[in-house]
Structure 1
């Protein structure tokens, strides 16, 4: 009798579990997913990360109602490759999109979108795509060609046509995303990716935001006048605010405002162009009267860069707020995962630079906040290493779908819901492009305290940093006396990660000796 009752109890429990699962499925409890990917948005410019450059109330809302990932990183700090990693859950050498100069995305390969779609999701990508080929595996897409334009942007449509939409690109992209949401099949869960162009170069704000930060004087980063001692790759880069930021193209300083040829400006309607001229022309006249040079000019350029960049970011945050408001109004908030991340970090004057690419923290580290009501406790702050590589398996995990075995990322959900969960003790990076901004290709490892980097092609060198003693990464310790054991240990850890991720190119470079075995 006891045995029979036990069997009945087991059967009853199994039935109850099945019923609850079935009920959840009937009610469509697979979560909806909204992923917002910006371009070149620095964590330093987000108030949720403690930055005081500006306030970002809407990104902060996601963080407050979900999780702030304080150690979010990318596998390859450049626009197109990052998107390929997010889609595939694989490193660049596996998904084939290594750089922006020679790569095009092979859409035949599996992506988390395709797996979601097979699992019953309706899927869409709206906005910046930047992967050369047309999206595959989506129910709907409407994408900017290439980098897209800030004003009155064109969109590539699924039927092969181009459609120009009047307005500022960040607002327009949100409009299109909401239009798709209005027309979606409400019987299915959805996954919508919103690709925003902001805050990509040339940092052209919405006319409503011109001058937003003109009353603020930004403090120079401590490393603005870095001389790059002991760092060969840093010495040959071409991403200096002082030397490489272009007065007309980047900073909108023109001798003749009637003949501006920058892509977004020539698309402006008369009203937009009149506001552009009215804002920038007096700044140019004032600059000309000052006749600045040397450090004074470099610091003037830095202030202009910051003002335009942050004004462009203001529109980005505002439109993220529109997305959150839409979910609220439609009663979707409680069953929708919202992820915000940038495709990588960005230099905001640190080391005297703009742009990204390097494995140094400002570029390598990316903002990433995630809200999942009922699953992730509001106000969670995670110190686990996570990567853009992890977005794909995390979304599949949340949807209750099997993660393909060839995905190299790991679901973040255990780290965000279980205090005892153990994450990575080190992360691997590999940047390939050897062109614009003259940044030497490199790969490396980061642990909680140390970073080891191997540069190649343009510059052949190793770099080693103690991030506890040297958080600004100014003192290359590689080859220094007393660091032999640490270097050997990090080399072994790096070898393990190279093997784990099957990066044969990095493996061959590790075996290649560098003359003098030092970068100094």
Structure 2
């Protein structure tokens, strides 16, 4: 048997060396596995990203997943199929600016003070110095609130604004990144540069996603494209597709716009997936207000935008978060007021106790029933008669309780766009949404006790 200079058999030395090398290799492999495990754990424990997609002027049933016979929306259909789907979703106000301000602040329009789109030109001519002062006064309401993106910034989020934004620049509304310069900049009424998103690609969003990843920061994305909003000028390929389905050119244009919007959502979702961010990203979908296309000419039909009818306030609401929120079709009432509270909860931020909306996260995760059977809303004129008195432009109050919906007309000043409120009535209007979802039959006289109860509910709720 051979020995080395230490007097040990060579075979023993070989075995010792083999054991040492094997140990080092195993240790290295275990360390590598442990490193991967830590990375996975870090990814699982990192705050989730949030994408808020907001459609602009779209009816609640103008989607494939809601049963439309012609409009194709495969990307939103997928979100609905894979996530939590609320078919009975609502916005509290059927007009874009107050509706978007509700998403930013978490409050009703009567509370945040942005009740209409513009100060009334009846009291100050558009473009006059006084009108500009009132525009700034209206925007300044946002300064009274810590907005959703501002709250998310406090817990480490970057945020990006694209599309519609009325309340000044993206910085003023609390975003860290964005596109809108805002009033008083040129074209700053409702989005300026931000309105190109979707219609002209999503390159600014790509750049933001790259920056967020480089900084290893969670992000909040506000995607509120000017779609399917007028102008209804869809790509020729889509217009050709829908003109073959209807004799109404205005209707074909609108339907094509809905699919174009869906395509841009698919492009955005694709960017999330390409960066392997899907598993840690919550996507929320809502529309700002409804729309029923006039079949004879451009513009919307009555009982849709600006009205408290289902065509004005109803919207599907979707929550999509792979492997966290299981596919579920919810039967409960939901409202856009729930969205800020739920997003804050997802991000691990404090949900203000004064928020009227609910944090739905626990119910989305365990699919438990939401203990709420009643929601409320308010309808205001497009133009604001008195910036300090919401009642001056209040046209409707409404509540939905289970299957029943009560509309109460109010005597606020309409100014322009009176045709949108042609059916405003001072008498109670009660509808059974289960048997009459189109609200064709007012059954208030048949249910006086129910009308009295729901009228009292509205009176208790309305405290601007």
Displacement of 1:89: 1.0
> Which residue matches 2:123?
none
Between Structure 1 and Structure 2, how many residues are aligned?
A: 379
Pair 1:144–1:210, CA change in 2 (3 A): farther
Pair 1:311–1:372, CA change in 2 (3 A): same
> Which residue matches 1:329?
274
**1:66/1:372 contact within 8 Å kept:** yes
Which deviates more, 70-79 or 27-36?
A: 27-36
SS at match of 1:70: strand
With normalisation by structure 2, the TM-score equals 0.74
> Which residue matches 1:90?
107
Separation (CA, whole Å) in 1 of partners of 2:46 and 2:252: 43
SS at match of 1:216: coil
**1:428/1:446 contact within 8 Å kept:** yes
> Which residue matches 2:344?
396
Pair 1:126–1:155, CA change in 2 (3 A): farther
Which residue of the other structure, out of 306, 312, 324, is the alignment partner of 1:375? Answer: 324
Answer yes or no: is 1:491 the counterpart of 2:439.
no
Displacement of 1:173: 5.2
Pair 1:163–1:83, CA change in 2 (3 A): closer
Pair 1:469–1:333, CA change in 2 (3 A): closer
Taking the TM superposition and a 5 Å limit, the aligned residue runs for 1:358-373 are 358-373=307-322
Pair 1:430–1:139, CA change in 2 (3 A): same
Answer yes or no: is 1:119 the counterpart of 2:78.
no
Taking the TM superposition and a 5 Å limit, the aligned residue runs for 1:176-187 are 176-184=204-212, 185-187=214-216
Q: Which has the larger radius of gyration?
A: 2
> Which residue matches 2:132?
none
Pair 1:45–1:164, CA change in 2 (3 A): closer
Displacement of 1:56: 0.4
> Which residue matches 1:386?
334
Answer yes or no: is 1:449 the counterpart of 2:398.
no
CA offset digits 1:39-66 (Å, max 9, x no partner)? 0122221111122131100011111221
CA offset digits 1:429-478 (Å, max 9, x no partner)? 10111559xx9710111112211111122653321222234332122233
With normalisation by structure 1, the TM-score equals 0.67
> Which residue matches 1:465?
431
Pair 1:339–1:122, CA change in 2 (3 A): same
Answer yes or no: is 1:106 the counterpart of 2:147.
no
Could you tell me which runs of 5 or more consecutive residues in structure 1 were left unpaired when the two chains were aligned: 1-19, 149-153, 157-161, 218-299, 506-520
**2:51/2:282 contact within 8 Å kept:** yes
> Which residue matches 1:318?
263
Pair 1:144–1:70, CA change in 2 (3 A): farther
Taking the TM superposition and a 5 Å limit, the aligned residue runs for 1:268-307 are 303-307=248-252
Displacement of 1:421: 2.8
Could you tell me which runs of 5 or more consecutive residues in structure 2 were left unpaired when the two chains were aligned: 1-36, 120-137, 385-392, 414-423
Pair 1:355–1:174, CA change in 2 (3 A): farther
**1:386/1:412 contact within 8 Å kept:** no
**1:28/1:189 contact within 8 Å kept:** no
Taking the TM superposition and a 5 Å limit, the aligned residue runs for 1:227-306 are 303-306=248-251
> Which residue matches 1:77?
94
Separation (CA, whole Å) in 1 of partners of 2:140 and 2:371: 30
Displacement of 1:71: 1.2
> Which residue matches 2:6?
none
Separation (CA, whole Å) in 2 of partners of 1:395 and 1:24: 22
Separation (CA, whole Å) in 2 of partners of 1:193 and 1:370: 15
Separation (CA, whole Å) in 2 of partners of 1:412 and 1:403: 11
Displacement of 1:207: 4.1
